[in-house]
């Protein structure tokens, strides 16, 4: 029987052999970006690779998810998922943006698919796999970026999804029922000299789709007959900003949004104005508290000019809780691969401010969501590009493969330890119930 | 029987003979400015002048009013000539009272002098015997709608009910026996020339607003506070967001001030107060704008989770003027200053409680020049007292002679043809209905 270290060497060697192939996958996806719940081409790339590798898979999960599954040769044991996110953002001025759809991989998800496949290939090396227990689930998941809210609400109305985030929907569908723990790795551009980082947390959030309804009128000849929905919305935004002094630093409150419709023609009093809004905070309680403040501001906007407002509150993401045992494995393996000085471990309270649906999964099963270097530019901006595919794809593929080997070698004892130590914050049913309770429609008429 | 022209000549002579004294009265009042419902020195001065003229009077109604009365040779209707006693508060005005900041930045001191000049002319020149009916010379308080806090305290003490002088005098019955009323206001607007006929004025109501938040250490625990200043500034913004819905023809004016904006910069402001007027050309327009202002104030409170108390205080009614009286005044103006020096304006967007009187009876409220600067500003001063006081007194006197001469034929025609907008009871009911106090608390 080979040592765990030897298994890791073999897996890493296999990944090195496939390095060009997995980087090509990432670059192919970069060239064909697709936003959440419409990643059909990207999903097919994954499905084709699974077919090539002889991995059984299901596809079309939560519209586009592709879930592979293969077993270790050493017998039954825990089931470990390696996740990769399929979706792009919309950043029209990104150098790799789709000129038609404006979709662009400005958050490096294309690398996640490359590294997920790379880790899979490493683990499938015959000498490695035959010594692993349990099952490995390479899983390409849709719609991590919570964008295009109006379009996704339509999907919800059409009964195609219930939750607007991919992992949320997959949890609801039971696609994590047969997964004991999950790992993934996200690219980052803000690591300085470090190459790999882990720990910290992320914000939870609630997503709002807001419609102000006024009354149209000729803006020149009869403005007194109109009710200006744009003024209602503008007032609401000022009101939101006036409340910022209420937010506590430890809550890492982020309140932001966009106006997706600001009127139809400049010669008419705007009668309908639409916003997509987001309230992020470090705890679900703070999200709820700050969400209520923002709702009150939207209502005040309606009242200010006698308009009405409909706020569709959509369940957002939960804060990230990394599993300590998994994180320790990531720390050891990344240190071994890259050198200890290249590794950054963030304290559990360090909140990066963003949100991810991996946070949701972290409330249900043990997960770890570390970061790898290789990107430059501000995340979600036109400047965010991958400059070092070795760091962005190959190294994390190796680190994830090494971590899975730790978990499933030796009779899967380490994975069992993870499970024994883990106390889920919510069971799946409680999670689904909790998130359903976050969905509400608030309607308010500010008319006198 | 002397003609009206003869009577006017006699009366004008009486004014000219004592022109220095009449102008001197204006200048004395200028040096002793007193804001509304505090015009005690001015009131005493008017009373002493009426006493000198042996005009019977009563004083102290609505705190400071002085009402003299003389009767013509034969019976007839009653014409009131009004003069406003009160000053503004403009501390940087050259004639401001150093202690109180009070200043005659709207020329009311000239009104008292011209009232005195007319009383003198009509009572001393011998024309009175030729007139039919009664003349009332009324020095009235508190035309400027200011110091709302002080006046509201007078109201709460039961000393007055309404915050403007003429509404209070109407309530007290001081206009019950008056059939026609007129006054003459100074102006600095060149377009209004030397004497100017005007048309309508905006009406207004007043509002006292208090935003109630929750104090907290602004550095240590701002999240525990509720910022009443943010509520107020957002409310102002909300008011502005409604401006596009105000129609040009309604000449809406909403112009708030913040009278208390917090106590210490290190504490989240918990108590912020505002005052505003809501002015408009018609009562309907005022009520519509007022509804929008109330909504905006509540939106400000709601935006930060504060509470707002809105007190709405009846202000002044829109002014409408009697055309036939105006025609008489215009003819006299042409005689006095020449046609080329008589101006016309149709609508003014300020407000006056002469509007309230105009709801009940035929009135005129024309303008006389002689002032320069911006009304209510630090630079509003009278430069031509001969015009602003002496010519003004003559214009009022001549108009009185025209109205009450010839057996008060003109006055009779005007009164007979006038359909008042409201009876006194209707007016009082309306004013009382406008008064409201409401507290809005956001959820």
Interval A88-100: pLDDT, tens: 999 999 999 999 9
If asked whether residues A103 and A159 sit together in one domain, one would say yes
Distance from CA of A286 to the nearest CA of B (A): 12
Confirm whether B327 is domain-assigned.
yes
- Of the listed ranges A195-199, A261-265, A290-294, B174-178, the least confidently predicted one is A261-265
Confirm whether A418 is domain-assigned.
no
> At which of B299, B316, B333 does a domain end?
B316
Does residue B368 carry a pLDDT above 90? Answer: yes
Q: Which of residues 54-93 of B touch A (CB under 8 A)?
A: none
**Which chain B positions have a beta carbon within 8 Å of A293's beta carbon?**
305
| Most A CBs within 10 Å, among B234, B239, B303, to test the A interface | B303
Percent of chain B's residues with pLDDT above 90: 94
If asked whether residues B47 and B131 sit together in one domain, one would say yes
Q: What local confidence, expressed as pLDDT, does residue A447 receive?
A: 81
Q: Using CA atoms, how far apart are residues B228 and B214, in angstroms rounded to an integer?
A: 8
Q: Using CA atoms, how far apart are residues B67 and A447, in angstroms rounded to an integer?
A: 48
Q: How confident is the model at residue A448 (pLDDT cuts 50, 70, 90)?
A: low
Range of the domain at A270: 204-316+437-445
| Most B CBs within 10 Å, among A217, A218, A227, A246, to test the B interface | A246
> At which of B295, B316, B337 does a domain end?
B316
Residue-wise pLDDT tens digits, B331-364: 999 999 999 999 999 999 999 999 999 999 999 9
Q: What local confidence, expressed as pLDDT, does residue A428 receive?
A: 96
Arithmetic mean of pLDDT, B243-254: 95
If asked whether residues A134 and A227 sit together in one domain, one would say no
CATH number of the domain enclosing B335: 3.40.630.10
If asked whether residues A312 and A328 sit together in one domain, one would say no
If asked whether residues A339 and A266 sit together in one domain, one would say no
Confirm whether A71 is domain-assigned.
yes
If asked whether residues A268 and A161 sit together in one domain, one would say no
SS3 A14: helix
Which residue among B227, B303, B442 sits closest to A245, beta carbon to beta carbon?
B227
Residue-wise pLDDT tens digits, B75-95: 999 999 999 999 999 999 999
If asked whether residues B60 and B138 sit together in one domain, one would say yes
Q: How confident is the model at residue B200 (pLDDT cuts 50, 70, 90)?
A: very high
Confirm whether B141 is domain-assigned.
yes
Confirm whether B430 is domain-assigned.
no
If asked whether residues B191 and B253 sit together in one domain, one would say no
> At which of B316, B347, B371 does a domain end?
B316
User: Is A247 in Cβ contact with B223 (below 8 Å)?
Assistant: yes
Confirm whether B215 is domain-assigned.
yes
Mean pLDDT score across all residues of chain B:
96
If asked whether residues B152 and B279 sit together in one domain, one would say no
Range of the domain at B373: 4-200+318-420
Arithmetic mean of pLDDT, B18-39: 98
- Structurally, how many domains does chain B consist of? 2
User: Is B303 in Cβ contact with A296 (below 8 Å)?
Assistant: yes
pTM (2 decimals)?
0.83
Q: How confident is the model at residue A32 (pLDDT cuts 50, 70, 90)?
A: very high
If asked whether residues B187 and B334 sit together in one domain, one would say yes
If asked whether residues A312 and A375 sit together in one domain, one would say no
Confirm whether B440 is domain-assigned.
no
Confirm whether A415 is domain-assigned.
no
CATH number of the domain enclosing A355: 3.40.630.10
Confirm whether B432 is domain-assigned.
no
Does residue B73 carry a pLDDT above 90? Answer: yes
If asked whether residues B100 and B89 sit together in one domain, one would say yes
CA quadruple B173, B171, B39, B319: dihedral positive or negative? Answer: negative
Does residue B28 carry a pLDDT above 70? Answer: yes
If asked whether residues B262 and B332 sit together in one domain, one would say no
Q: How confident is the model at residue A266 (pLDDT cuts 50, 70, 90)?
A: confident
If asked whether residues B322 and B312 sit together in one domain, one would say no
Which residue among B244, B268, B292 sits closest to A223, beta carbon to beta carbon?
B244
Please check whether residue A369 is in contact with residue A186, taking contact to mean a CB–CB distance below 8 angstroms: yes
If asked whether residues B161 and B122 sit together in one domain, one would say yes
Confirm whether B425 is domain-assigned.
no
If asked whether residues A219 and A268 sit together in one domain, one would say yes
Residue of B nearest to A231 (CA): B241
Mean pLDDT score across all residues of chain A:
96
Arithmetic mean of pLDDT, B276-296: 96
CATH number of the domain enclosing B227: 3.30.70.360
If asked whether residues A288 and A356 sit together in one domain, one would say no
Which residue among B218, B230, B302 sits closest to A303, beta carbon to beta carbon?
B302
User: Is B291 in Cβ contact with A242 (below 8 Å)?
Assistant: no
If asked whether residues B120 and B235 sit together in one domain, one would say no
Distance from CA of B217 to the nearest CA of A (A): 12
Q: How confident is the model at residue B1 (pLDDT cuts 50, 70, 90)?
A: confident
SS (H, E, C) chain B: CCCHHHHHHHHHHHHHHCHHHHHHHHHHHHHCCCECCCCHHHHHHHHHHHHHCCCCEEEEECCCEEEEEEECCEEEEEEEEEEECCEEECCCCCCCCCCCCEECCCCHHHHHHHHHHHHHHHHHCCCHHHCEEEEEEEEECCCCCCCHHHHHHHHHCCCCCCCCHHHHHHHCCCCCCCCEEECCEECCCHHHECEEECCEECEEEEEEEEEECECCECCCCHHHCECHHHHHHHHHHHHHHCHHHCCHHHCCEECCEEEECCCCCCECCCEEEEEEEEEECCHHHHHHHHHHHHHHHHHHHHHHCCEEEEEEEEEECCECCCHHHHHHHHHHHHHHHCHHHEEECCEECCCCCHHHHHHHCCEECCEECCEECCCCCCCCEECCHHHHHHHHHHHHHHHHHHHHHHHHHHHHHHHHHCCCCCCHHHHHHHHHHHCEEEEEECC
Residue-wise pLDDT tens digits, B188-198: 998 889 999 99
- Structurally, how many domains does chain A consist of? 2
Residue of A nearest to B218 (CA): A245
If asked whether residues A362 and A295 sit together in one domain, one would say no
If asked whether residues A334 and A381 sit together in one domain, one would say yes
If asked whether residues B23 and B135 sit together in one domain, one would say yes
Residue-wise pLDDT tens digits, A160-178: 999 999 999 999 999 999 9
Residue-wise pLDDT tens digits, A386-442: 999 999 999 999 999 999 999 999 999 999 999 999 999 999 999 999 999 999 999
Please check whether residue A237 is in contact with residue A344, taking contact to mean a CB–CB distance below 8 angstroms: no
Q: How confident is the model at residue B149 (pLDDT cuts 50, 70, 90)?
A: confident
If asked whether residues A227 and A265 sit together in one domain, one would say yes
If asked whether residues A20 and A138 sit together in one domain, one would say yes
If asked whether residues B148 and B219 sit together in one domain, one would say no
Q: What local confidence, expressed as pLDDT, does residue B318 receive?
A: 97
User: Is A235 in Cβ contact with B246 (below 8 Å)?
Assistant: no
Confirm whether B28 is domain-assigned.
yes
B270 contact A CB<8A: no
Most confident range, picked from A81-85, A268-272, B145-149: A81-85
Confirm whether A34 is domain-assigned.
yes
Percent of chain B's residues with pLDDT above 70: 100
Q: What local confidence, expressed as pLDDT, does residue B209 receive?
A: 96
Does residue A136 carry a pLDDT above 70? Answer: yes
Q: How confident is the model at residue B418 (pLDDT cuts 50, 70, 90)?
A: very high
């Amino acid at each position: 029987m080979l040592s765990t270290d030897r298994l890791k060497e073999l897996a890493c060697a296999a990944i090195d052999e496939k390095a060009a192939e997995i980087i090509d996958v990432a670059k192919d996806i970069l060239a064909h970006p697709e936003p959440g719940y419409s990643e059909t081409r990207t999903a097919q790339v994954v499905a084709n690779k699974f077919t090539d590798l002889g991995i059984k898979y299901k596809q079309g999960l939560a519209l586009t998810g592709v879930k592979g599954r293969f077993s270790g040769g050493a017998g039954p044991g825990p089931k470990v998922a390696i996740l990769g996110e399929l979706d792009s953002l919309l950043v029209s001025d990104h150098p790799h943006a789709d000129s038609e759809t404006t979709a662009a991989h400005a958050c490096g998800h294309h690398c996640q698919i490359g590294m997920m496949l790379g880790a899979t290939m490493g683990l499938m090396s015959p000498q490695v796999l035959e010594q692993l227990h349990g099952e490995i689930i390479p899983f390409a998941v849709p719609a991590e970026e919570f964008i295009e809210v109006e379009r996704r609400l339509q999907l919800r109305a059409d009964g195609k999804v219930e939750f607007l985030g991919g992992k949320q929907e997959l949890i609801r569908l039971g696609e994590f029922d047969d997964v004991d723990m999950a790992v993934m790795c996200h690219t980052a551009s803000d690591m300085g000299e470090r190459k790999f980082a882990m720990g910290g947390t992320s914000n939870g959030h609630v997503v709002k789709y807001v419609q102000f309804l006024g009354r149209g009128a000729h803006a020149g000849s009869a403005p007194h007959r109109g009710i200006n929905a744009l003024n209602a919305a503008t007032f609401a935004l000022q009101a939101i900003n006036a409340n910022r002094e209420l937010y506590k630093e430890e809550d890492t409150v982020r309140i932001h949004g966009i106006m997706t419709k600001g009127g139809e023609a400049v010669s008419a009093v705007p009668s309908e104005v639409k916003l997509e809004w987001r309230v992020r905070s470090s705890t679900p309680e703070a999200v709820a508290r700050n969400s209520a403040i923002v709702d009150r501001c939207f209502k005040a906007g309606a009242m200010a000019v006698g308009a009405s407002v409909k706020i569709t509150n959509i369940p957002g993401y939960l804060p990230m809780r990394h599993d300590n045992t998994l994180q320790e494995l990531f720390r050891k393996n990344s240190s071994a691969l890259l050198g200890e000085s290249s590794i950054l471990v963030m304290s559990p309270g360090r909140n990066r401010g963003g949100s991810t649906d991996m946070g949701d999964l972290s409330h249900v099963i043990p997960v770890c969501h570390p970061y790898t270097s290789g990107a430059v530019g501000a995340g979600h901006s036109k400047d965010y590009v991958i400059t070092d595919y070795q760091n962005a794809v190959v190294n994390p593929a190796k680190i994830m493969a090494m971590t899975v080997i730790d978990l499933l070698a030796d009779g899967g004892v380490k994975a069992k330890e993870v499970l024994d130590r883990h106390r889920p914050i919510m069971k799946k049913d409680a999670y689904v119930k909790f998130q359903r309770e976050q969905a509400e429609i608030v309607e308010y008429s500010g008319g006198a | 029987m002397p003609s009206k022209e003869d009577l006017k000549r006699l009366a004008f002579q009486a004014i000219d003979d004592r022109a220095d004294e009449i102008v001197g009265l204006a200048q004395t009042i200028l040096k002793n400015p007193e804001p509304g419902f505090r015009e005690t020195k001015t009131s005493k001065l008017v009373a002493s002048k009426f006493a000198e003229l042996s005009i019977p009077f009563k004083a102290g109604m609505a705190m400071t009013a002085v009402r003299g009365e003389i009767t013509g040779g034969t019976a007839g209707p009653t014409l009131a000539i009004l003069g406003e006693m009160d000053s503004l508060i403009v501390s940087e005005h050259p004639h401001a009272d150093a202690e109180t900041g009070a200043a005659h930045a709207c020329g009311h001191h000239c009104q008292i002098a011209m009232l005195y000049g007319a009383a003198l002319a009509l009572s001393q020149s011998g024309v009175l015997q030729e007139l039919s009916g009664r003349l009332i010379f009324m020095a009235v308080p508190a035309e400027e709608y200011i110091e709302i806090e002080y006046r509201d305290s007078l109201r709460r003490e039961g000393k007055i009910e309404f915050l403007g002088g003429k509404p209070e005098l109407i309530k007290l019955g001081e206009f019950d026996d008056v059939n026609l009323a007129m006054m003459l206001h100074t102006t600095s607007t060149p377009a209004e020339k030397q004497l100017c006929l005007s048309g309508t004025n905006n009406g207004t109501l007043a509002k006292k607003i208090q935003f109630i938040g929750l104090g907290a250490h602004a550095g240590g625990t701002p999240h525990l506070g509720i910022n009443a200043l943010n509520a107020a500034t957002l409310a102002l913004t909300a008011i502005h967001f409604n401006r596009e819905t105000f129609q040009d023809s309604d000449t809406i004016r909403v112009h708030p001030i913040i009278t208390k904006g917090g106590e210490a910069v290190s504490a989240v402001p918990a108590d912020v107060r505002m005052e505003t007027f809501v002015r408009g050309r018609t009562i309907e327009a005022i009520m519509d704008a007022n509804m929008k202002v109330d909504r905006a104030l509540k939106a400000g409170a709601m935006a930060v989770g504060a509470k707002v108390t809105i007190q709405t205080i009846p202000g002044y009614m829109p002014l409408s003027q009697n055309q036939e009286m105006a025609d008489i005044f215009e003819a006299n103006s042409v005689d006095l200053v020449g046609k080329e020096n008589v101006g016309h304006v149709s609508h003014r967007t300020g407000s006056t409680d002469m509007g309230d009187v105009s709801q009940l009876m035929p009135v005129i409220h024309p303008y006389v020049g002689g002032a320069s600067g911006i009304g209510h500003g630090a630079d509003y001063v009278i430069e031509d007292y001969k015009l602003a006081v002496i010519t003004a007194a003559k214009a009022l006197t001549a108009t009185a002679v025209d109205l009450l001469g010839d057996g008060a034929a003109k006055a009779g025609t005007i009164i007979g043809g006038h359909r008042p907008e409201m009876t006194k009871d209707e007016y009082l009911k309306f004013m009382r209905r406008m008064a409201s106090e409401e507290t809005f608390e956001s959820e």
